[in-house]
Amino acid sequence: MCGIVAYIGKKQAYPILVKGLQRLEYRGYDSAGIALLNGDLHIYKKQGKVDQLVNLMHEKDQTGKMGIGHTRWATHGLPNDINAHPHTSQSGRIVLVHNGIIENYASIKQELVKAGHQFSSETDTEVLAHLIEEVMDAENVDLAEAVRLALHSVVGAYAIVVMDREQPQQLVGARKSSPLVVGLGENEYFLASDATPIVEHTKNVVYLNDEEIVVLDRNSGIEIRNIRNEVITPYIQALEIKLEKIEKSGYDHFMLKEIYEQTESVRDSLRGRLNANEGIIALGGIKEYEQKLLNANRIIIVACGTSWHAALVGEYMFEDIARIPVEVEYASEFRYRNPVIRPETDLVIAISQSGETADTLAAIELAKSKGATVFGICNVVGSSIARTTHAGAYTHAGPEIGVASTKAFTSQLSILALMALTVAQHNGTMPKSRLRQLLVELENIPQLIKEVLKTDKIVQKIAQEFKDARNFLYLGRGYNFPVALEGALKLKEISYIHAEGYPAAEMKHGPIALIDEEMPVVFLATNESAYDKILSNIQEVKARKGRVIVISTRRNVGDLEDLAEYIIQIPETEEPFTPILSSIPLQLLAYHIALLRNCNVDQPRNLAKSVTVE
Ligand code: G6P
């Protein structure tokens, strides 16, 4: 969703801001804008991509050693030039960019209109710029204090960066429920909604906490206060992200790069946490709360999107390996129910790649308010969910830039497997010899992913054949049912073909009516226990002339040859780890079909990488 980058220092801000906005493109947006301060304020905004903004800027004044940039994902008002950020105050002296939603903007606006303010956009953000100026004038305070006081009247989520034409020595930022990170360079400072625009300039960062306001001053440096005006000591952290991780490194798209990275990303998820020979499973981040996991009578997993699909696989794993009952909840539903949580015996696990998903955050807060212990499984280090949960494990998959989640998913599955195996080891839910088999197999999974990636060629052929299909059906059973859902989601997200995932046996209760000679049906037929059953389901589709594509393990291939138009062979593995392998050809299939349909693979229409609004 919206992205922020801001700079104050000795260099020209414009190239830094443009590069930063390009780095933020992955989040999903529909307009972009920049404000530069060089004695005067210059504001440039454009609907569409950052490149279109850059074209507009060719003839313009690009000078200024401070500035703010923004990519907007429309919420209040159309995605057009006027609604794009930055927005200015009544007199034009205050300019700001904003991520999040000001929920009470309408009532604030009403008051301001009464006081004579005129608004030019439909956004909630513009209200904030006007409000800050109003407070500044009424209270006769400087920018930072005006921001602090103004935020007392605001309900909602925000990450903001504000400049005042009359105070060119400082940038002011603030956050609540929407991330903002400060980069500390040599006599220069950066502010951004995530670390990607900062990483090439400095490795030293400070993540703001909720209701904190930062002042970055050319003369006096960094100062942080909270909304209650208490001074906060900045906690400086070193960024671990490497620059090459946020670049395409020769691949045509981030998504393809990230699919191919999975051998390494899953290895990184397991690194230092699993030693099959010694029988060691070590998830350091949950050590302090391990008893909560081991003694849990029930696990509730909350998540959204692809992470929710990972949670469903987790359900199978925890029940199968750890013998703990699990409920998987859409965070957005969970947060508005009155869920029954037994703090002593329930454990809540939140899964999120970005660690910033608004609904997941709210679900965590609800669970905490009911006394629950919450574990997080996040990819982005230092993210809000990682910080608000009691314990957890980072997936360490590295930055995921493609909007459609790929490597984060397989890494989430790897962490869930480690958690379930931890319980098995301590609670003795399976014979030691079986546990050892699973550990050995999990350690070997990165190697098997390498094998799976070799299916790319056949997948490309299939993509060519089916690129014009109007609908797709994905069917799987057991561990592969969530994979069917995830495969369908991948295709929808980036190729805009309608696709449904279903438990294979449920097909006869509805989707079978859709099957004709034009309907491609992707079957996941890898799992030993349900293999014969799924073979019957394939027969049922075949009998209705459906076009069958099967993902199967090598051993099973013989039986399928007469039934399937295409077979994608993947290596065999232990059933609980099957989804880590079987999801990969589906990622590739979505990628190649989207490519052939000329879709924007990395930034699909309307979608955002990090959904910071509910
Ligand atoms: C968005 C993204 C999805 C992601 C979902 C949940 O919809 O486009 O790829 O699965 O949010 O995000 P999270 O960061 O919480 O995993």
- Smallest Cα–Cα separation from 121: which of 135, 133, 109? 109
Lowest mean pLDDT among 90-99, 114-123, 538-547, 554-563: 554-563
pLDDT exceeds cutoff 70 at 478: yes
pLDDT one-digit tens code per residue, 97-126:
999 999 999 999 999 999 999 999 999 999
pLDDT of residue 60: 93
pLDDT of residue 581: 98
Residue nearest to atom 2 of ligand 1 (CA): 609
Is residue 612 very low, low, confident or very high in pLDDT (cuts 50, 70, 90)?
confident
Average pLDDT over residues 473-484: 97
Q: Give catalytic residue positions.
A: 2, 609
Average pLDDT over residues 320-339: 96
Average pLDDT over residues 296-310: 98
Specify the DSSP class assigned to residue 507: G
d(CA 582, CA 578) in angstroms, rounded, equals 6
pLDDT of residue 347: 98
d(CA 119, CA 112) in angstroms, rounded, equals 9
Alpha-helical segments (H) within 299-357: 305-317, 331-334
Q: How many angstroms separate the alpha carbon of residue 306 from the centre of ligand 1?
A: 6
pLDDT of residue 291: 97
Question: Is the CA virtual torsion 62, 67, 403, 242 positive or negative?
Answer: positive
Pocket test for ligand 1, best of 357, 388, 394, 603 (most atoms within 8 A of CB): 357
- Residue ranges lining ligand 1, Cβ < 6 Å: 304-307, 352-354, 357, 360, 403-405, 607, 609-611
Average pLDDT over residues 351-360: 95
Residue 455 tokens, joined: 């299916």
Please identify which residue in the block is written with the tokens 């949580």.
341
Question: Is the CA virtual torsion 454, 460, 466, 472 positive or negative?
Answer: positive
Q: How many angstroms separate the alpha carbon of residue 351 from the centre of ligand 1?
A: 10
Query: HSE-up of 591 (CA within 13 Å, CB side)?
Result: 26
Residue 545 has a CB neighbour count (10 Å cut-off) of 12
Question: Is the CA virtual torsion 110, 115, 119, 123 positive or negative?
Answer: negative
Average pLDDT over residues 514-523: 96
d(CA 110, CA 302) in angstroms, rounded, equals 38
Please report the atom of ligand 1 found closest to the CA of residue 306.
10
pLDDT exceeds cutoff 70 at 77: yes
Average pLDDT over residues 374-403: 95
Q: How many percent of the chain have pLDDT more than 70? A: 99
Residue 91 has a CB neighbour count (10 Å cut-off) of 12
pLDDT one-digit tens code per residue, 120-178:
999 999 999 999 999 999 999 999 999 999 999 999 999 999 999 999 999 999 999 88
Confidence (pTM)? 0.87
d(CA 217, CA 236) in angstroms, rounded, equals 17
Answer left, alpha or beta for residue 133, where phi above 0 means left and psi between -120 and 50 means alpha: alpha
pLDDT of residue 247: 84
pLDDT one-digit tens code per residue, 255-285:
999 999 999 999 999 999 999 999 999 999 9
pLDDT of residue 493: 97
Pocket test for ligand 1, best of 25, 377, 383, 611 (most atoms within 8 A of CB): 611
Q: Is 338 helix (H, G, I), strand (E, B) or coil?
A: coil
pLDDT of residue 556: 62
pLDDT exceeds cutoff 80 at 559: no
d(CA 391, CA 387) in angstroms, rounded, equals 9
pLDDT of residue 558: 63
pLDDT exceeds cutoff 90 at 389: yes
pLDDT exceeds cutoff 90 at 243: no
pLDDT one-digit tens code per residue, 45-76:
999 999 999 999 998 999 999 999 999 998 88
Q: How many angstroms separate the alpha carbon of residue 30 from the centre of ligand 1?
A: 18
Pocket test for ligand 1, best of 309, 354, 385, 493 (most atoms within 8 A of CB): 354
pLDDT of residue 425: 97
pLDDT of residue 555: 63
Q: How many angstroms separate the alpha carbon of residue 493 from the centre of ligand 1?
A: 11
Residue nearest to atom 1 of ligand 1 (CA): 609
pLDDT of residue 552: 93
Residue 252 has a CB neighbour count (10 Å cut-off) of 12
- Smallest Cα–Cα separation from 438: which of 559, 286, 203, 270? 270
Residue 319 tokens, joined: 């029940």
Q: Is 418 helix (H, G, I), strand (E, B) or coil?
A: helix
Q: How many angstroms separate the alpha carbon of residue 403 from the centre of ligand 1?
A: 8
Give 211-261 as a 3 state SS string: CEEEEEECCCEEEEEECCCCEECCCCEECCCCHHHHCCCCCCCHHHHHHHC
pLDDT of residue 532: 84
pLDDT of residue 529: 77
Q: How many percent of the chain have pLDDT more than 90? A: 89
Quickly list DSSP for 433-467. HHHHHHHHHHHHHHHHHHHHGGGHHHHHHHHHHHT
